Amino acid sequence: MLKYSFRKYTPLSLRLWHWPTVLVIFGILGTVLLRKTFLSWHTNSVLIEEKLSASGIVITPELAKDIAISIRNPMWDWHIYLGFALGALFLGRILIALIVEKRCPGFQALKNILKIRNLPLQEKSEALHYTVVKIGYLVFYFLIALMVLTGLMLNFKAEIGLSKGLIGATKEIHELLMWFLIIFIGGHILGVVIAENRKDHGLVSDMIYGGDPDPHNNLPG
Ligand code: HEM
Ligand code: HEM
């Protein structure tokens, strides 16, 4: 059934964009997880102080913190490398929309939102679900843009002369956005698995091999 099916022909460029994006985002989330757990300076500075004092060496808490952060830094460098990779992928997604798809993702769904009211009752909930998912992708792209912007601001805080207050606010926004991203990813994976098991068998395969290129068998995205 074509109506409200999520199956559509996925151009090679979008398929090649999707999977590295998944890896990069999971990589970034991995660096955050390590920073907050095994490589947390709060935990490790106390450990360093305790172990050294057990061997009769007394160091200041500041030095212990400094050592713990130095141990963490090479790992955190990957947050920045992958952050730049995410920025590049975001630009790549814009180019795919402009050159290959020649449309803005989610825009068609945004335009159709008012038409849902006039649909027959049994079609309404399906149409609404389809529209919310497509607009969800647009929101995701907006989130990524903000994530990259705030990340770059933090990375180049000295160069752009960001004040202490603004650094704190930017960091809070950057961290808060992460929770929205995690909600998107959880909902997305769950949604894809449910769709694949209900009426959209082959949806994940479309994101790998492309699917049916015949435009008559596909909905506008
Ligand atoms: C999926 C996207 C991203 C997520 C989930 C994410 C998450 C986070 C989190 C949670 C923090 C706060 C860590 C803490 O203080 O405990 C942080 C800090 C930071 N992020 Fe990201 N980030 C992302 C993308 C980026 C990008 C694109 C860049 C830019 C290259 C970037 C650069 C930074 C910088 C410079 C910091 C501050 C580190 C510090 O104060 O030591 N991030 N990020
Ligand atoms: C970090 C994790 C992930 C992110 C950020 C992500 C992001 C996205 C985005 C933005 C789209 C929309 C592409 C577009 O049409 O503009 C998409 C579509 C899709 N993704 Fe993911 N994805 C993730 C993980 C996964 C995983 C693990 C799977 C497989 C189980 C998957 C399968 C799909 C499929 C089948 C579609 C097409 C669905 C549709 O057109 O509605 N994704 N993904």
pLDDT digits (tens, 9 = 90+) for 33-74: 999 999 999 999 999 999 999 999 999 999 999 999 999 999
Residue 133 lies in a domain: yes
Helices (H), the chain: 12-36, 41-54, 61-95, 107-112, 121-155, 164-197, 203-209
Q: Please check the confidence at residue 221 and state whether its pLDDT lies above 70.
A: no
Q: Percent of the chain, pLDDT > 70?
A: 96
Give the distance from CA 86 to its chain's centroid: 9
- Cβ neighbours for 107, distance < 8 A, ≥ 6 positions apart: 138
Q: What is the pLDDT of residue 1?
A: 43
Q: Please check the confidence at residue 82 and state whether its pLDDT lies above 70.
A: yes
185 CA from centroid of ligand 2 (Å): 8
Q: What is the pLDDT of residue 206?
A: 95
Q: How far apart are CA 103 and CA 96, in angstroms?
A: 9
- Cβ neighbours for 37, distance < 8 A, ≥ 6 positions apart: none
Q: Which residue has the higher pLDDT, 117 or 63?
A: 63
Give the residue whose CA is nearest to atom 19 of ligand 2. Answer: 207
Q: How many residues does the chain have?
A: 221
189 CA from centroid of ligand 1 (Å): 23
Q: Please check the confidence at residue 122 and state whether its pLDDT lies above 70.
A: yes
Number of domains in the chain: 1
Residue 106 lies in a domain: yes
pLDDT band at 2 (very low <50, low <70, confident <90, very high): low
pLDDT band at 201 (very low <50, low <70, confident <90, very high): very high
Whether the Cβ atoms of residue 5 and residue 217 lie closer than 8 Å to each other: no
Q: How far apart are CA 90 and CA 96, in angstroms?
A: 10
Q: Which domain holds residue 74?
A: 12-217
What is the DSSP-derived secondary structure letter of residue 97? I
Residue 6 lies in a domain: no
| pTM summary value | 0.94
Could you give the 3-state DSSP secondary structure of residue 167? helix
Residue 4 lies in a domain: no
Q: How far apart are CA 165 and CA 167, in angstroms?
A: 5
Q: Please check the confidence at residue 184 and state whether its pLDDT lies above 50.
A: yes
Alpha-carbon Rg for the chain in angstroms? 23
Ligand 2 atom nearest the C-alpha of 97 is 16
Q: What Å distances lie between residue 41 and 44, 48, 72, 108, CA to CA?
A: 5, 10, 8, 47
Using a 6 Å cutoff on CB, does residue 175 contact ligand 1?
A: yes
Q: Please check the confidence at residue 141 and state whether its pLDDT lies above 70.
A: yes
* Ligand 2 pocket residues where CB is under 6 Å: 6, 18, 21-22, 25-26, 105, 133, 137, 140, 185, 188-189, 192, 203-204, 207, 221
Q: Which of 10, 18, 182 has the most ligand 2 atoms within 8 A of CB, as the residue to mutate? A: 18
137 CA from centroid of ligand 2 (Å): 9
Residue 22 lies in a domain: yes
When pLDDT is averaged across residues 149-159 and rounded to a whole number, the result is: 98
Residue 211 lies in a domain: yes
Please state, rounded to an integer, the average pLDDT across all residues of the chain. Answer: 94
Q: What is the pLDDT of residue 97?
A: 97
- The CATH code of the domain that includes 205 is 1.20.950
pLDDT band at 214 (very low <50, low <70, confident <90, very high): confident
Residue 95 lies in a domain: yes
Q: What is the pLDDT of residue 219?
A: 64
Amino acid found at 192: V
Whether the Cβ atoms of residue 56 and residue 25 lie closer than 8 Å to each other: no
Q: What is the pLDDT of residue 41?
A: 98
Q: How far apart are CA 202 and CA 211, in angstroms?
A: 8
